[in-house]
Amino acid sequence: MAYQKTITIKGLGEFTISPAIKKFTLIDLGFITNNAGTYVLKRSLQPDMPVDQAISLKVVFKKDLSAMKLEVIGAAGGPVDIDAREDAKDMLDLVGFFLKEMTERQVLEQIA
């Protein structure tokens, strides 16, 4: 998935990067900096499974915080379509919880 300034999540709305975003806020939320300087957050969407075997939400911000990408990935790192799963509602609720937290901390803004 390519970097974007705005993301749309079916059932949750449209989100954009907040102009008030700060690097230290990302670190407070659990983002780590990789070797390329990007900020990466990975959160499990299956709390009853071991973290290394669960489907996860992955959020990545560019080093300069100008763009982001958000994807749901499987244990092997490939993309996963959660809509086709039986536990899709539970996973979507967790995605909503994580996005709400980032919205409250002025990392993202909900625009629709």
pLDDT above 80 for 12 = yes
- What's the burial of 54, exposed, middle or buried (CB within 10 Å: 0-12/13-18/19+)? middle
pLDDT above 80 for 101 = yes
90 token code pair: 């539970």
Q: What is the mean pLDDT of the chain?
A: 94
Strand ranges in the chain using DSSP code E only, listed in sequence order: 6-9, 13-17, 32-33, 39-44, 56-61, 68-73, 108-110
Query: 30 near 41, Cβ under 8 Å?
Result: yes
- The whole-number average pLDDT for the span 96-104 is 96
| Look-up of token digits 């998935």 | 1
Q: Could you tell me the pTM of the whole model?
A: 0.91
Q: What would the pLDDT profile of 37-61 be if each residue is shown by its tens digit?
A: 999 999 999 999 988 899 999 999 9
93: number of CA atoms within 13 Å, CB side?
6
